[in-house]
Amino acid sequence: MKKWIGFMLSVLAAGTMVMGGAATSHAAALTKEPAGKSAYLCDCETGTVVYAKNETERLPIASMCKIMTLLLTFEAVERGDLAYEEQITVSGHAAGMGGSQVFLGDGLSYSAESLMKSIAVCSANDSCVALAERIAGSEEAFIAKMNERAGELGAENTLFANCTGLPKEPQYSCAKDVSLMLRALLKHQKYFEFSRVWLEDFVHPDGRTTSMTNTNKLIRHYEGCDGGKTGFTNEAGYCLAATAHRGDTRLIAVVIGAESAKIRNASIASMFDEAFAEYATRTILQGGEPIAERAPVDGAKQKDIAVAPENSLVAFCKRADEGKFTVSVQLNENLRAPIAVGEAVGTAVLYRDGVEVSRTTLVAAEEAERYSWWDAFREGARQWSA
């Protein structure tokens, strides 16, 4: 059994949005339509769609498929299956990759971190294959994992044939799916240590160095841009998935099939400009900060304890529109001591005009110690002597 306590908050709100689940598009025309065959613009935190053009059309995406390669690598580290400092011996197959590369030496060993950085910075195909072979045993097995993970993310129009994006049939994705993959990758804060690098030398074990320059020029030329992945083949055209952050708002923009790198970059920058100008992120409940309602606890030294949302409840809002939000606080009934700080004690649910858009767990913000027989004895003695 649970009990419900509700309170109302009014903030600026977008006309349509969904948080914590599949985003609903309320995409409108931009002042300047992005170039390319396909484009997509959304809020990173909530997934709210700002603009979409042919967003589910299946197209080659070139090296943007390395977003998935990096995601699987970061997740392997997170699981404990791989360590950043682990030395990975490069196979002849990996060392022989063409296209963008850092010229890994056949039989030489490199740290996983250095290989990951080379993919994020200069799109190194050889590093992709070296990591794929280490994580899955072979590139083919890794590709199967890429496709499996794409399905888990809801990327319904994606099929990988390799981990590099080099031309190979059949292989395709779409602007919407690329945004889903990048959104997942951006949850790994270590990624930004790599993606923000502009120029750096890649040092080989045999003393050679390879200069790495970031393929995403917007990290230097667009305010707030700190990550993303470029791509180009004759078949795919010029592609870019990028992210930019200003204030509390982080955006993701994707362009597939532009005619030149200059046009591609200008389209992404223009999309960012309009979204930052028209939208804002509002924090309705701040994660970790106690709310007004307190949770009653049975068998505790104190009658109730402070509670706080585990994660923030936020709204990605169009600045010119207004909408009413309701936050319903659901506290578990019959909570009993002891309760540790951080223990789940309920749920906070955010509604917009009566429709649920997000929720987060409520956790204990202070400890509830058990009221022992010794505490009862001392209390009785105190009252007796009073």
CA end-to-end distance (rounded Å), the chain? 40
For residue 275, what are the CA distances in angstroms to 36, 126, 145, 247, 347? 19, 36, 34, 13, 31
Exactly one of 38, 53, 63, 127 is catalytic; which is it?
A: 63
| Residue appearing with tokens 């955006």 | 251
Strands (E) in 13-156, as ranges, are 38-43, 49-53, 87-89, 109-111
Cβ(227)–Cβ(196) below 8 Å:
yes
- Altogether, the residues listed in the chain come to a count of 386
Under DSSP, the state recorded for 166 is -
Cβ(333)–Cβ(310) below 8 Å:
no
String of b and e for 347-358 (b: at least 16 CB within 10 Å)?
bbbbbbeeeebb
Q: How far apart are CA 98 and CA 91, in angstroms?
A: 14
Q: How far out from the chain centre does Cα 62 lie?
A: 21
Exactly one of 66, 145, 217, 318 is catalytic; which is it?
A: 66
Q: Is residue 66 annotated as part of the catalytic site, yes or no?
A: yes
> Where do runs of H (alpha helix) occur along the chain?
66-79, 92-95, 112-122, 125-136, 139-153, 175-185, 190-195, 218-221, 261-278, 373-385
Q: How far apart are CA 54 and CA 38, in angstroms?
A: 5
Contacts with 384 (C-beta within 8 Å, 6 or more apart), sequence order: none
String of b and e for 205-221 (b: at least 16 CB within 10 Å)?
eeeeebebebbbbbbee
Exactly one of 38, 91, 100, 123 is catalytic; which is it?
A: 123
CA-derived radius of gyration, the chain: 25
Q: Is residue 63 annotated as part of the catalytic site, yes or no?
A: yes
Q: Is residue 111 annotated as part of the catalytic site, yes or no?
A: no
Cβ(363)–Cβ(345) below 8 Å:
yes
User: Which amino acids are annotated catalytic?
Assistant: 63, 66, 123
